[in-house]
Amino acid sequence: MIDKQREEEFYAKDFSFSYSSLNKLLFSPTLFYKDYILLEKEVKTEKHLIEGRLVHCLLFEPDEVKNKFNVVPGKTPSDNVRKVLKNMSLHTDATKLSDVEDFIILDSLKELNLYQSLKKDEARIAKIKTEDNEPYWTFLGNTAIDVIDQDTLTRCTEYVNIIQSNNDVMKLFSNESETDFELDPISIHCEQPLYCKLENYDFGLKGIIDFYKVDKEKKVVTICDLKTTSKTISDFKETVDFYNYWLQASIYSKLVYENLGDDADLYQILFKFVVIDKYNQVYVFDVSDETLGIWANGLENVIKRANYHYINKEYTLPYDFLIEKVKL
């Protein structure tokens, strides 16, 4: 549904594409419109996404864990139940789940199209209004904080311990210099938000880089992106294509380059994916200069496609479907 007022408000402000927003525009312009123009973006509560955020925080910002995560007693609900509880929290001020009116539960279930196969309303309500779900509901009041259980915290802490016991990874994260440079030649940046303007475009790029270090003496920048995966490291090449991680890598590389300063052209940029898989195997995937160059060209093509949507305010279909008739 087109909302002219929201469109005017969106285009009146400066906008910068992140990896997630640019990827969403490629995949589904209608979802991009809903999330970023209508401002109806849902907070992602899937367990694997929360676990990924927790591992990042434990590794790069351990002091922030208590500010970003609440640990509830017992088990956290399933993904579907969490979606329902989150939706319900937008429509009631009830501090106890047992006090939530039944119609709010039923409306949320209908909106999300969950548990509709159950014939009776009582059965649907019983899926949500349980004693086990009460602790999770209690913590939903602070929407800025992810809710986890103790098992999740323990499991993610084990992941981080495994990563930290890997010499190759920790050498990457080290700021030790191999030379006697008068000033510290290496600067470390963790969870660093970066922004850059794009020449000839009305929008910019932005992102939060997991980790990068700048060696001022050797003129080398090393960017590391941490990935947890429910698959194996053997599958990661396919995962890069499936989730467009190549796009994320090219965006992060451009952001770092554009923020290096006047001597940016003197630096070599290295990009690495640090991956821990479901079997707790840790591996560092180096991205070759050739591949990084190919991905950079791919980013330029994606930006041109995004610009078509942006300047034409056209969000009904993906770019290819708008430009020419797609045939099977």
User: Would you say 34 and 42 are in contact if contact means Cβ atoms under 8 Å apart?
Assistant: no
Position 150 in a domain: yes
Q: What is the pLDDT of residues 105-150, one digit of tens each?
A: 999 999 899 999 988 999 999 999 998 898 888 877 655 578 888 8
Judgement on whether residues 219 and 316 belong to the same structural domain of the protein: yes
CA distance 46 to 96: 23
What's the pTM value of the predicted model, to 2 decimals? 0.80
Judgement on whether residues 61 and 187 belong to the same structural domain of the protein: no
CA distance 37 to 11: 9
Average the pLDDT over 71-76 and give the result.
79
Judgement on whether residues 61 and 104 belong to the same structural domain of the protein: yes
Judgement on whether residues 316 and 217 belong to the same structural domain of the protein: yes
Position 38 in a domain: no
Overall number of domains in the chain: 2
The CB-based long-range contact list for 114-123 (8 Å cut-off, 24+ gap) reads 114/80, 114/83, 114/84, 115/80
Give me the CATH number covering residue 179.
Answer: 3.90.320.10
Position 184 in a domain: yes
Domain limit, last residue, from 103, 138, 158: 158
Judgement on whether residues 149 and 176 belong to the same structural domain of the protein: no
Domain limit, last residue, from 91, 125, 158: 158
Q: Tell me, what's the pLDDT at 207?
A: 96
Position 27 in a domain: no
Judgement on whether residues 140 and 174 belong to the same structural domain of the protein: no
CA distance 241 to 227: 14
Q: Tell me, what's the pLDDT at 138?
A: 80
- Domain coverage including residue 241: 167-321
